[in-house]
Amino acid sequence: MGKKPLFYHETKPSEEAASVLRSFPTTYDKKPLPTISAKAARKLFCEHSNLTMISASPYKSIGYSKGKHKISKGPCVLLLCLHKGYIPYGEEEFPRKIGGFEVDIQEGSCMLGIGGSLEIGGHIRRKGSKSAGFVNNNGKIGLITCAHGVLALHELKNRTIDRHNNADEVEAFVRKSRSFKVCGKIVTAEFPKNNEAIECSVDAAFIELDSSFSVAGFRNVPAEQLISAGFDAHNPVAFRGTVILNERIGDTSGSVLKFGARTGLTLGSLFNENMHVRIKYKETLKLYDSIGYTDIPCDVNVYNQMEIESLTHDNFFEVGDSGSLVFYIQDDTLCCIGMAIGLTTRGTCLVTPIENILKSLGLPVNNSIFIPAETKLQSNIETDRILEAIDRQQKYIDRRFQEQKEEIEKYFEKIKKNE
């Protein structure tokens, strides 16, 4: 047709969005950013198939494609898309202004953070995944985690739980035995549906624990991680069970942290409390299915999420940390603000407000629902390595003993035949 084809990789956007975030001053004005309602976000997603995320920023990116990149101070609506420079057939350009604010267009996408103990930040998985928090629901102890970590694709779509042949059982990694064991069953779960007119999307599951399992605190944290986060290793930070409701989220201008199964303790800051995301259908999401964890096409819209930026050079959240509870640091104690569910290509983390999670799962929204937890310092890494070395040596000795035994038996068999 005389047209030049354009090739691009959806999961490898330009560095513009990430470089803009990195170029923010160490301290910058965090006045309320422009907000887009879920209703307006649904309309934008409907009109622009190229659109992946709707956020906001205190700075606007200018001149990136011309090689004269700089950032201009001033709040703007941030629209992230799969690829800049083209308009899908039959669609219009992105708006230049929304709600009186200028619009900045950058490339980027978002993925849910599913990856592979009965500890906050430990490993869980569907019997045959991830970080979780413990709650006390009318005397029944359970844990909350991401639905996409423990439900199969058909269960997520239909919001049904397969209870055939104990398919609803969940396993947790038990450090003492160094193995996964059945810890409980999925009671209820919520997952976004694109055609629902809801204000806040929830991706969460409630798992009731078997009475034989005792509840632990946070997963072990290395002393250096606590120190780098500004805490005293000899007086670790504690979670008293306090929950921060939606109306108070705007007050959390300080640091937040999470305990993840992949990255452990990481420190961040609330960047935006009003973000909408489209997980594009061409991207893949590793979900549990009848044949195990598989890559499955996914098309999901997620509304009114918080966006967390990292306060260090490392990411606040990585794939494998799904279900990590996020805590606001207040006077050396922790208050639960939400649950981390995904990662954007520009390095920020997607967090669902805890109030919406509790309500969607039919759990009481109060400060008595979560079980308090103390931070535990990680046992000496050298000790763990020594124990692993001893275990390897024991296996080697057992193998050599068996080989020697077989050689001796063969020797006596040979003597017996010669006689």
Q: Would you state the pLDDT for residue 403? A: 83
Q: Would you state the pLDDT for residue 238? A: 77
Check residues 99 and 141 and name the one with the higher pLDDT.
99
Q: Would you state the pLDDT for residue 166? A: 66
pLDDT at 388 over 50: yes
**pLDDT one-digit tens code per residue, 95-107:** 999 999 999 999 9
Spatial contact of 28 and 287, defined as CB atoms under 8 Å apart = no
Cα 40 → chain centroid: 26
pLDDT at 29 over 90: no
**pLDDT one-digit tens code per residue, 171-202:** 665 655 566 666 778 888 888 876 666 678 88
The structure's pTM equals 0.75
Q: Would you state the pLDDT for residue 77? A: 95
**pLDDT one-digit tens code per residue, 62-90:** 988 888 889 889 999 999 998 888 888 88
pLDDT at 346 over 70: yes
Percent of the chain's residues with pLDDT above 70: 74
Q: Would you state the pLDDT for residue 126? A: 55
**pLDDT one-digit tens code per residue, 253-277:** 678 888 877 777 888 888 888 899 9
Quick one: average pLDDT of 137-149? 78
Quick one: average pLDDT of 108-131? 57
State the pLDDT confidence band at 15, using cuts at 50, 70 and 90.
confident
Three-state SS string across the chain, please? CCCCCCCCCCCCCCCHHHHHHHCCCCCCCCCCCCCCCHHHHHHHHHHCCCEEEEEEEEEEEECCCCCCCEEEEEEEEEEEECCCCCCCCCCCCCCCEECCEEEEEEECCEEECCCCCCCECCCEEECCCCCCEEEEECCEEEEEECHHHCCCHHHHHHCCCCCHHHCCEEEEEECCCCEEEEEEEEEEEECCCCCCCCCCCCCEEEEEECCCCCCCCECCECHHHHHHCCCCCCCCCEEEEEECCHHHHHHCCCEEEEEECCCEEEEEEEEEEEEEEEECCCCEEEEEECCEEEEEECCEEEEEEEEEEECCCCCCCCCCCCCCEEEEEECCEEEEEEEEEEEECCCCEEEEEHHHHHHHCCCCCCCCCECCEECCECCCHHHHHHHHHHHHHHHHHHHHHHHHHHHHHHHHHHHHHHC
Quick one: average pLDDT of 336-365? 89
